[in-house]
Structure 1
């Protein structure tokens, strides 16, 4: 314990860990809105930032690994009766434990922010985070071994640059299973709230990182050139074992889905409002807004009576069927974990007159916008800029046409105007052209 204490006080371990913690937390909080939806988005975002943290751990290990060469005490230590393995054990523990702990503290720092609002804690998070911490240990140990083998001043910065390139290019390499095995950032990045990482991918990464850690440890403690050459064997065996268990199916490798997170959580009373389990914390805020939107649509015959959160995921085919009793909307989460842009909920429900667009029928946007804004009781406005975080391009003539049609409806008796709006909805349901139905 005294030797370990000395390593913690005098080696680069504590400084490297503090630097990793600072970089990780700063990277997270630069754009906290990316992971404000819950625990899995936080973990996936932190995993993405391993492109910075893993090379840092690798370089820190290399810097520490050249310490004996720098101090010119290698020959002196070689004459002591204590084996090199016992002497290097405190170094391995200090570097690995501090950098692994730094990664865990990055997650904790993000978790403090989302804990009050995160509604769902997937159990897979525990193993994903532990695998990330283990990856930091592996980088530090591999760096120690390389630093001892190549004790030049340029080794650490060269490894930092090489580490960034290695992590990035292995993550995007094809086939996907190779990236899943080799890159600690693979699977990171947040595309939708119910995204996860397949446990087999996490297991394969842990095996590969364990093999790298063992190779680094052998390089650090080896005395003879033959043993140093043998250090490549753990890495080769680890890659083979990881490749044997990693899945090959694209669905398991590219942004897989957590079915529990995607389950709908609904209100007990009617009209029924439903969100995914991972967004259950905004259900109370969304419910009165969604019911207001349904009340607007209720001016039409056979109007929808439920609102559900859109659950389509990246890579899935667009739905070809619809439930005419249900309106699906996008639920957006703000940087504090609450409902973002609440003012857009009612218009989003009413636009399209409650009919989901499956892409199978041609629809007239100007006609639908004029009809929807008539129900809303206000003049049509462009979609551009309504949600600042989404890039929308629109032909200015589209809204001008909608305004002209809306003005025509304003001149009609209420019963006649509602009849024409209902005719537009019926045409959409029947996959018919709605052109001219508001101006006939």
Structure 2
């Protein structure tokens, strides 16, 4: 058995590995900006690109199944005394090894391009990657089973196209049961996500059971010599689907959810106090320097905040109101590891947190103009003309009067009170 497996690995399934690996490399390395922030975005984004990788594995399996037909030895091999299951197991094992190695190899090639690979490595990353590799193996085996049942030259490309269409259509089939249907897909697609998200372990485990059931069904179909046995192959598939459905009923968030561990605060030494989410701790020195600059600018206002906290540490999980002496700032890191300038957003509205129901452009322009005034900079050319006008009116005022108006704007923004755009021009909210 081991000798046959080595032959299969050396000769028959190497092209399959190269195809899957090449497709994964092209997809991953063409979208570095989506996953460079950390391990979790890397794992999730790789699963997202299974919308192409999974159908490709399906087609590769069908192509592999037709090998004997292409060589014209199908009837000769079928007439040997060797049991069918012993003939297909080495091929299945070799195919599983190469396609899973190609999938995992794609992840490994991406690690050097992460902004930081040491600050936060959640265990769920390995689970997500492992489930993705299992899904690819199940696809290859299923493709081989279907290719054996339909040994035609068009089976492999037809399965590839059909697989892409199915994965694109799955989330859109039913608005009411979209979450349930999405679990049956190897693709993780939940709109916006970043390094602060994770995939619940129960979702990964349920999906692993589903892909194992699909792989077992494909294996039985390949090894079966009778129609009754092939019908029985649907049993594990039904059990896997039932398990996944039951798991969904107890899970309100089957896709990606906020990761509390990634959002834990890590604070810099000294004062003023500056804290960032744990997953961004590798940037703490650079973030601290910029945040303390922002706090110094806000110190021009009375009752100015003395603590700056990464807004990501409160996204999606925190419902507690923000302390009066605390200001939030966003953190954006480019794929090349550079920290974006967050001072205009940190000083927005005089350092007041954004109101959830704030829909007024006039208020936004006023908040933005106040930020540039605190920074002592004229708004850039890309800013709206109203922001320039408001900034100029503030800049022309005596410092004490300008401070009074920006403070009034900040206090109104903190309480989310009515229209406040008039405060910068001396009017009332």
* TM value normalised by structure 1: 0.88
C-alpha deviation, 1:383, in angstroms:
6.0
Does residue 292 (structure 1) correspond to residue 293 (structure 2)? The answer is: yes
CA distance in 2, matches of 1:435, 1:169: 46
For 1:420, the equivalent position in structure 2 comes to 405
**1:260 is paired with a residue of what secondary structure?**
coil
For 1:66, the equivalent position in structure 2 comes to 66
- Give a deviation string over 1:326-347, Cα, whole Å, max 9, x none: 11121101103442x2xx2222
C-alpha deviation, 1:360, in angstroms:
5.0
| Kept after mapping to 1: 8 A contact 2:393/2:425 | yes
For 1:6, the equivalent position in structure 2 comes to 7
Does residue 128 (structure 1) correspond to residue 128 (structure 2)? The answer is: yes
- Give a deviation string over 1:364-418, Cα, whole Å, max 9, x none: 334434433333222234665xxxxxxxxxxx44224314423432xx2x33433
**2:347 is paired with a residue of what secondary structure?**
helix
- Give a deviation string over 1:200-255, Cα, whole Å, max 9, x none: 111111111111111111221222222223222221222122323345443x2142
CA distance in 2, matches of 1:436, 1:152: 73
CA distance in 1, matches of 2:206, 2:314: 25
Judged with a 3 Å threshold, the aligned counterparts in structure 2 of structure 1 residues 70 and 427 are, in CA distance, closer, same or farther, namely: closer
Out of 87-96 and 106-115, give the one that drifted further: 106-115
CA distance in 2, matches of 1:435, 1:56: 55
CA distance in 1, matches of 2:89, 2:173: 35
Judged with a 3 Å threshold, the aligned counterparts in structure 2 of structure 1 residues 61 and 117 are, in CA distance, closer, same or farther, namely: closer
C-alpha deviation, 1:178, in angstroms:
2.6
From 351, 355, 374, the equivalent of 1:354 is: 351
Does residue 398 (structure 1) correspond to residue 383 (structure 2)? The answer is: no
CA distance in 2, matches of 1:165, 1:204: 24
For 1:233, the equivalent position in structure 2 comes to 235
Correspondence 1:310-321 to 2 at 5 A: 310-311=311-312, 321=321
| Kept after mapping to 1: 8 A contact 2:206/2:247 | yes
**1:273 is paired with a residue of what secondary structure?**
strand
Out of 136-145 and 400-409, give the one that drifted further: 400-409
CA distance in 1, matches of 2:382, 2:265: 28
CA distance in 1, matches of 2:306, 2:223: 70
| Kept after mapping to 1: 8 A contact 2:145/2:221 | yes
Correspondence 1:238-387 to 2 at 5 A: 238-250=240-252, 252-311=253-312, 321-339=321-339, 341=340, 344-360=341-357, 364-381=363-380, 384=383
Judged with a 3 Å threshold, the aligned counterparts in structure 2 of structure 1 residues 72 and 150 are, in CA distance, closer, same or farther, namely: same
Does residue 52 (structure 1) correspond to residue 38 (structure 2)? The answer is: no
| Kept after mapping to 2: 8 A contact 1:47/1:189 | no
CA distance in 1, matches of 2:239, 2:422: 70
> Could you list the runs of 5+ residues in structure 2 that have no partner in the other structure?
none
Out of 221-230 and 261-270, give the one that drifted further: 221-230
From 408, 411, 428, the equivalent of 2:396 is: 408
Correspondence 1:44-123 to 2 at 5 A: 44-114=44-114, 116-123=116-123
For 1:224, the equivalent position in structure 2 comes to 226
| Kept after mapping to 1: 8 A contact 2:206/2:244 | yes
Judged with a 3 Å threshold, the aligned counterparts in structure 2 of structure 1 residues 360 and 56 are, in CA distance, closer, same or farther, namely: closer
CA distance in 1, matches of 2:355, 2:118: 31
Judged with a 3 Å threshold, the aligned counterparts in structure 2 of structure 1 residues 421 and 107 are, in CA distance, closer, same or farther, namely: same
| Kept after mapping to 2: 8 A contact 1:84/1:221 | yes
Judged with a 3 Å threshold, the aligned counterparts in structure 2 of structure 1 residues 366 and 165 are, in CA distance, closer, same or farther, namely: closer
| Kept after mapping to 2: 8 A contact 1:296/1:376 | yes
| Kept after mapping to 2: 8 A contact 1:381/1:399 | no
Correspondence 1:121-160 to 2 at 5 A: 121-160=121-160
> Could you list the runs of 5+ residues in structure 1 that have no partner in the other structure?
385-395
C-alpha deviation, 1:283, in angstroms:
1.2
CA distance in 1, matches of 2:100, 2:320: 47
| Kept after mapping to 2: 8 A contact 1:262/1:277 | yes
- Give a deviation string over 1:72-107, Cα, whole Å, max 9, x none: 323322332221111111101111110011111011
Correspondence 1:154-233 to 2 at 5 A: 154-174=154-174, 175-187=177-189, 191-233=193-235
| Kept after mapping to 1: 8 A contact 2:263/2:278 | yes
For 2:42, the equivalent position in structure 1 comes to 42
Judged with a 3 Å threshold, the aligned counterparts in structure 2 of structure 1 residues 3 and 273 are, in CA distance, closer, same or farther, namely: same
| Kept after mapping to 2: 8 A contact 1:44/1:189 | no
CA distance in 2, matches of 1:350, 1:155: 60
CA distance in 2, matches of 1:180, 1:204: 12
